[in-house]
Amino acid sequence: MNCQSGGESGSESGGLLVTIDGMDLPAITNLRREWMQISLSKRAGALLDDLLECEPHLQATGARTWAELVPCGSAGQHRQVDPWKVTSALIRQFHRDQLIGLALLVRLTPGLLAIARSLDWGRTPPWNDPEALAADAVSTAWEILDRFAGETVAYPERTLLRAIRQQLTKQRTAARRRLTQEEPTGDKVAELRDPNPISVLDELAMALRLHQPRLPLRDLELIFQHRVLGLSFPELSVVLGESACAIGQRSCRAEAALCA
């Protein structure tokens, strides 16, 4: 299936190749290809057996292969277990083997692409091309995973993707600030700029916190994932285990209640 964004970019979320404007994104494509190969190895199989023994939530999925537990480019759907509990179990075991980190990166791929889309596919400094941003997003994701390793993280996809997005946004803000400082001003007085500007997404995040008593937590989380993290309804469908149509309807109702 070829997913389009704004008529400019697309990705084969169910396959290996990821492209933007017809250009391959090696950082993501190679990540998926490496996972497809390594997940079939004897080492990966033995690791999975160990994880199923020590992590009840993984065992409860009924998965017997990595392909069943972590479909390529997807969070997977396990009716017996909430998807976030599977991710949280893998984070707890992150330091056991690098393969677990690779599995988590593949699991976060839809969210990483959503973050890249929200950052205009890296067409602005400090990246200036989609592949540079994709590579930076993958390396940043690994750093964030290492930070949370060994912990039990509730709603880990949201927590991880938010931390990744914040880190990448800081890099872009710093690059923009440097460019602004380097601009020649001539005889004109330099315009005073807010050193810590608040984006529209940050304002929405603050609004959600202010309205916590008015809306159910699951609705607040849905608005945050869709509007702040930029996850589409099909992407959220994979994470939440609901249909994209049902998620879209619930999002509309939640946003209407928020604005009431």
Reply yes or no on domain 198-260 having CATH 1.10.10. yes
150 confidence band (pLDDT: 50, 70, 90): very high
**208-259: pLDDT as tens digits:** 555 555 677 777 778 777 776 677 788 777 777 788 888 888 888 888 877 7
Q: Is the pLDDT of residue 6 over 70?
A: no
Q: Strands 23-24 and 9-12: what pairing?
A: unpaired
Strand partners, 151: none
The first and second tokens of residue 58, run together, are 């993984």
Q: Do 88 and 148 meet the contact criterion of CB atoms below 8 Å apart?
A: no
Give 181: exposed, middle or buried? Use CB within 10 Å, 0-12, 13-18, 19+: exposed
* Residue ranges per structural domain of the chain: 1-177, 198-260
Nearest to 168 by CA among 221, 205, 208, 113: 113
Mean pLDDT of 36-59: 94
41 confidence band (pLDDT: 50, 70, 90): very high
Residue-by-residue DSSP string for 95-109 = GG-HHHHHHHHHHTH
pTM above 0.75, yes or no: no
